[in-house]
Amino acid sequence: KQEVTQIPAALSVPEGENLVLNCSFTDSAIYNLQWFRQDPGKGLTSLLLIQSSQREQTSGRLNASLDKSSGRSTLYIAASQPGDSATYLCAVRPRGSTLGRLYFGRGTQLTVWP
Amino acid sequence: SQTIHQWPATLVQPVGSPLSLECTVEGTSNPNLYWYRQAAGRGLQLLFYSVGIGQISSEVPQNLSASRPQDRQFILSSKKLLLSDSGFYLCAWSGKGLAGTYEQYFGPGTRLTVT
Q: Which residue has the higher pLDDT, B42 or B24?
A: B24
Asked whether the beta carbons of residue B104 and residue A46 sit closer than 8 angstroms, the reply is: yes
**Nearest CB partner across the interface for A44, out of B6, B46, B90:** B90
CA A31 – CA B41 distance, rounded (Å): 28
- Which residue of A35, A51, A97, A99 is the best one to mutate when testing the B interface, meaning the one whose CB has the most B CBs within 10 A? A99
Asked whether the beta carbons of residue A43 and residue B46 sit closer than 8 angstroms, the reply is: no
Q: For all residues of chain B together, what is the average pLDDT?
A: 91
Helices (H) and strands (E) in chain A, counts: 0, 11
Cα angle B35-B12-B115, degrees, rounded to a multiple of 5:
105
Q: Is the pLDDT of residue B101 over 70?
A: no
Asked whether the beta carbons of residue A43 and residue B43 sit closer than 8 angstroms, the reply is: no
* B42–chain A Cβ distance below 8 A for any pair: yes
- Show the low-confidence residues of chain A (pLDDT under 70): 97-98
Segment B3-39, tens digit of pLDDT: 999 999 999 999 999 999 999 999 988 899 999 999 8
**Which chain B residue shows the shortest CA-CA distance from A44?**
B106
What pLDDT is attached to residue B99?
Answer: 54
Per DSSP, B54 falls in state T
